[in-house]
Structure 1
Amino acid sequence: MKEPITLGDVLSARKTISGHVIHTPLRPSASLTDRIGSPVWLKCEQHQYTGSFKLRGAANAVLKLSPEQKQKGVVGVSTGNYGRALAYAARNAGVRAVICMSELVPKNKVDGIRAQGAEICISGTSQDEAQKEVDRLVAEQGMTMLPPFDHADIIAGQGTLGLEVLEQLPEANTLLVPLSGGGLLAGVALTAKSINPAIRVVGISMERGCAMITSLQEGKPTAVKELPTLADSLGGGIGENNQYTFDMCADLADDFVLVNEAQIADGIRAAYHDDQQVIEGSGAVGIAALRAGLIDNPGTTVVLTTGCNIDMSLHKRIIGGEDVDLMAE
């Protein structure tokens, strides 16, 4: 039986990754505050090394490997940001890394991972198909699989983001957390509620293929079709044999909200024009939900803006007001 993850694990992770990650800023958003009538702050994790929060979990997991595991290398599946983070953490530790991705991962994210020195494997049209190549490398070469979310060290590393938020703003009432496989939501909710049980944690995802919310509605891990979306980093399944994040999201999250593509584009646009931030679709879903009026009585709110790794030509089209629909392209 798996050991539960605790606040102590998160505190340990913070010590492990100290010096390997940035303590990211918490910035007030005047435009969102005016819009909803309550204080809104942006936790700017897009300023993290590698451009997303994923480095926290990846660094914690890589640094905790045994010497033998480091010698044989690490392998993982990714929709882009985790692969970049794992490649960065592995390179800094002198460890070989192979990142497996589906054909749906945008080229800019594949190029970003390759630039960090990782070996790239493109396989199939879903994260689940890419996972088969990961399994092969584990079986044939003895590499260590470090999954993007469903791993105790990954979750504990992501939980350090929750520690920072509550140290920076202890009076926070609501945290808006992008939701994919649930590693970030699980870690942040565990940490925040361990410190302040009254805090509200809301998972935000996209309408086009959110596997976690579908799985929670079905009562078990459930496969969903991956579709093109502006929130591409939130794509992928949660794994049929999910060990941690399914139960933790079910137990710890207070609510879940879905946003559509137009709302995500609006969030990207508002982040740029109102807050001077370049944020990718997956990192803008909290802004999108607030602007669409989907969060009831939020109070003092922290929006986790989790990544900036958007194709800049796409970003230019969106902030210019174009009605971008990736399904039609």
Structure 2
Amino acid sequence: MISLETIEQARERIVKHIRSTPLVMSAALSELIGTQVSLKLEHHQLTGSFKLRGATNAILQLSQSERNRGIIAASTGNHGRALSYAAQAMGSRATICMSRLVPENKVSEIRRLGASVRIVGSSQDDAQEEVDRLVAEEGLSMIPPFDHPRIIAGQGTLGLEIVQAMPQVAAVLVPLSGGGLAAGVAAAVKAVRPEIKVIGITMERGAAMKASIDAGHPVQVEEHRSFADSLGGGIGLANAWTFQMCKILLDEVVLVDESEIAAGIRHAYEYERQIVEGAGAVGIAALLSEKLAHVEGPIAAILSGGNIDMALHRNVVNGLNTIGEGS
């Protein structure tokens, strides 16, 4: 487990490097659900997603020699963007390995931030194999996207902000992929108030953490194109941290399909005036689809990222409900 003290130390470490994002009440969702619903606008983070928290916490704890050798990671986009931004700010250089499923707008932004980009295979696992090869051959410093205590602690700072801004919160809805955000937020909020429910929300197809929890051990899943592209990828068969933390700390995992995610993106735009990517909209999607009707008390939903391709966003707003091949 990651302790509350470790998460508090991470908050002190990164406070000057990140943005403390707003938590705002949604009148539309509160009326629809019948209880207060507030939205954590983490897509307003400096790099457009929560990933900057963990990336910054991890890089700040590297030695100067490790930074000088260069930083490397596999990513579905947002972790790579955060690492590239933080590495550039701290005088290091990042190499980001991604699969062909990562949207071009995320790839191009990582390149703009000065990182070296490697496109490898059609899955997060393929990208990770390239990372492992470059670490062995070139001695680069690997910062994983989720399964690392420094990453988890950094993401957990978001949970501290929620309970500080909304002490009465009864449930927190967290987008769920590899589990770094979910594990960190759950560790933080339950350390402060153990009765708070933390519910992981993820896409219906290719939900690696849900499949792993159901199986009782990490498993591989087939990856598919999704509006929630940031939630794609496996959790790693040798997962050392996030699987156990999510298995123990999450009260529930809820799945949403592509049309429901699209509806979440549209609602965020039309009623909340927020532009979010699919992964950032899954909490709203779960609320709109009435899959959380059993949850009682004030709810906080994390809008985890806003790095959506704007052409895709326009299509979704205009009614698109499926995406790409395999939809």
TM alignment of 1:43-122, pairs within 5 A: 43-122=40-119
Structure 2 residue identity aligned to 1:301: I
Aligned to 1:128, the other structure's residue is in SS state helix
- Indicate yes or no: 2:187 matched with 1:208: no
TM alignment of 1:282-297, pairs within 5 A: 282-295=279-292, 296-297=294-295
Q: Which moved more, 1:55-64 or 1:65-74?
A: 65-74
Runs of 4+ in 1 over 2 A off after TM superposition: 322-329
In structure 1, what is the Cα distance between the partners aligned to 2:49 and 2:32?
A: 26
Cα distance, 1:68 vs structure 2: 1.4
Aligned to 2:188: 191
Count of equivalent residues: 326
> Gaps spanning 5+ residues in structure 2: where?
none
For residues 186-235 of structure 1, the C-alpha deviation after alignment (integer angstroms, 9 at most, x for no partner) is 00000000000110000000011010000111111100000000000000
In structure 2, what is the Cα distance between the partners aligned to 1:44 and 1:151?
A: 24
Q: Which of 20, 25, 28 lines up with 2:25 in the alignment?
A: 28
Q: Is the 8 A contact 2:171 2:295 kept in 1?
A: no
Aligned to 2:128: 131
Aligned to 2:298: 300
TM alignment of 1:145-224, pairs within 5 A: 145-224=142-221
Structure 2 residue identity aligned to 1:179: L
Structure 1 residue identity aligned to 2:321: D
For residues 82-109 of structure 1, the C-alpha deviation after alignment (integer angstroms, 9 at most, x for no partner) is 1000100111011111000001100001
Q: Is the 8 A contact 1:43 1:303 kept in 2?
A: yes
Aligned to 2:47, the other structure's residue is in SS state helix
Q: Is the 8 A contact 1:56 1:157 kept in 2?
A: yes
Q: Is the 8 A contact 1:5 1:156 kept in 2?
A: yes
Cα distance, 1:325 vs structure 2: 3.0
In structure 2, what is the Cα distance between the partners aligned to 1:283 and 1:62?
A: 25
Q: Is the 8 A contact 2:47 2:82 kept in 1?
A: yes
Q: Is the 8 A contact 2:258 2:321 kept in 1?
A: no
Cα distance, 1:328 vs structure 2: 5.9
Q: Is the 8 A contact 1:102 1:127 kept in 2?
A: yes
Structure 2 residue identity aligned to 1:205: T
Aligned to 2:91, the other structure's residue is in SS state coil
Aligned to 1:324: 322
CA RMSD of aligned residues (A): 0.9
Q: Is the 8 A contact 1:33 1:39 kept in 2?
A: yes
In structure 1, what is the Cα distance between the partners aligned to 2:51 and 2:150?
A: 12
Q: Sequence identity, in percent? A: 53
Aligned to 1:82, the other structure's residue is in SS state helix
Aligned to 1:14: 11
In structure 2, what is the Cα distance between the partners aligned to 1:242 and 1:51?
A: 26
Q: Which of 247, 255, 265 lines up with 1:250 in the alignment?
A: 247
In structure 2, what is the Cα distance between the partners aligned to 1:288 and 1:19?
A: 33
Aligned to 1:49, the other structure's residue is in SS state coil
Cα distance, 1:321 vs structure 2: 1.8
Q: Which of 2, 6, 11 lines up with 1:5 in the alignment?
A: 2
For residues 37-88 of structure 1, the C-alpha deviation after alignment (integer angstroms, 9 at most, x for no partner) is 0000000000001100000000000011011111111100000011000100
Q: Is the 8 A contact 1:189 1:253 kept in 2?
A: yes
Structure 1 residue identity aligned to 2:166: L
TM-score (structure 2 length as normaliser):
0.98
Structure 1 residue identity aligned to 2:125: D
